[in-house]
């Protein structure tokens, strides 16, 4: 019988050995192994404190300006690392939920020949929220080249009729694995259940004008940790902007005030 943690560590280490530059399929398999609720485990190295206590602090390392918490993939690797301080064994999905909101990743087996492998925070976010719900990185994001004026016209018309929508942006997203798609960034005044449902209905009505076979997805512009939303905020201007439309509306004619409202 295997010791606790041996089987899952072996699977993660097997996937880790297959990762190489350009092998996005192998890297995705490693993420799936880390996300496995029954098998994915890592040995987090504690710089100070006792496992399970609020005062415990993970180690940290900086690589090319990004922060990572070092960890190892098995008890055997822990012994090989020479780490003499405390550690704690954590499910991959749990450590992902803890670290990604703060912009931290994990670095697997930094003591190993070649320096180990880093899992940056965007991929921890995918592990935490569901690998199939978000595109596989690294992402190539650009302005859309596809010409679909009917869709944009219908979407703009429907957005104007949907009070929850402040503005709309767009991008073309090419995942490392999977089909490229058109991303529509949604900037909303409110995110209550009724508002969200009205926006979903807006999109359901609008995608009828999308050519068959062209995937369309949406992203919340308010999501500070979504890489597509981050790119949109930094690189695009809205193709629909309710506030700008209001500001541009003429108040009167030729310098005269607007006519008084009559009952």
Residue 256 carries which DSSP code? P
Q: Are 54 and 96 in contact (CB under 8 A)?
A: no
Beta bridge partners of 72: 43
Per residue in 153-191, pLDDT (tens digit) is 999 999 999 999 999 999 999 999 999 999 999 999 999
Relative to beta strand 216-220, strand 181-188 is parallel
6-133 is classed CATH 3.90.920.10: no
Per residue in 18-52, pLDDT (tens digit) is 999 999 999 999 999 999 987 789 999 999 988 88
Q: In whole angstroms, how far apart are CA 74 and each of 89, 95, 159, 204? A: 9, 15, 52, 47
Domain segments of the chain as ranges: 6-133, 140-248
Mutual angle of helices 24-35 and 92-99, in 10-degree steps: 100
What would the two tokens of residue 18 be? 């297959």
Measured distance CA(182)–CA(157) in Å, rounded: 19
Question: What's 140-248's CATH class?
Answer: alpha beta
């Amino acid at each position: 019988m295997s010791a606790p943690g041996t089987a899952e560590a072996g699977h993660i280490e097997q996937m880790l050995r297959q990762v190489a530059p350009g092998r996005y399929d192998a890297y995705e398999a490693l993420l799936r192994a880390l996300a496995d609720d029954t098998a994915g485990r890592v040995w987090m190295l504690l710089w100070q404190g006792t496992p399970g206590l609020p005062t415990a602090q993970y180690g940290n390392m900086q690589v090319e300006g990004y922060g990572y918490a070092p960890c190892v993939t098995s008890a055997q690797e822990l012994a090989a690392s020479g780490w003499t301080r405390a550690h704690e064994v954590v499910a991959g999905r749990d450590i992902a939920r803890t670290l990604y909101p703060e912009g931290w990743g994990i670095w697997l087996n930094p003591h190993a020949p070649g320096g180990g492998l880093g899992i940056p925070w965007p991929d921890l976010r995918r592990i935490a929220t569901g690998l199939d719900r978000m595109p596989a990185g690294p992402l190539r994001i650009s302005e859309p080249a596809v010409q679909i004026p009917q869709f944009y016209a219908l979407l703009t018309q429907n957005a104007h009729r949907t009070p929850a929508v402040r503005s709309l942006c767009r991008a073309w997203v090419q995942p490392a694995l999977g089909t490229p798609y058109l991303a529509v960034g949604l900037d909303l005044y409110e995110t209550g259940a009724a508002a969200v449902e009205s926006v979903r209905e807006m999109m359901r009505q609008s995608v009828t004008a999308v050519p068959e076979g062209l995937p369309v997805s949406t992203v919340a512009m308010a999501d500070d940790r979504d890489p597509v939303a981050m790119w949109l905020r930094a690189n695009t201007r809205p193709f629909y902007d309710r506030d700008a439309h209001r500001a541009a509306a003429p108040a009167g004619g030729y310098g005269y005030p607007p006519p008084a409202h009559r009952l």
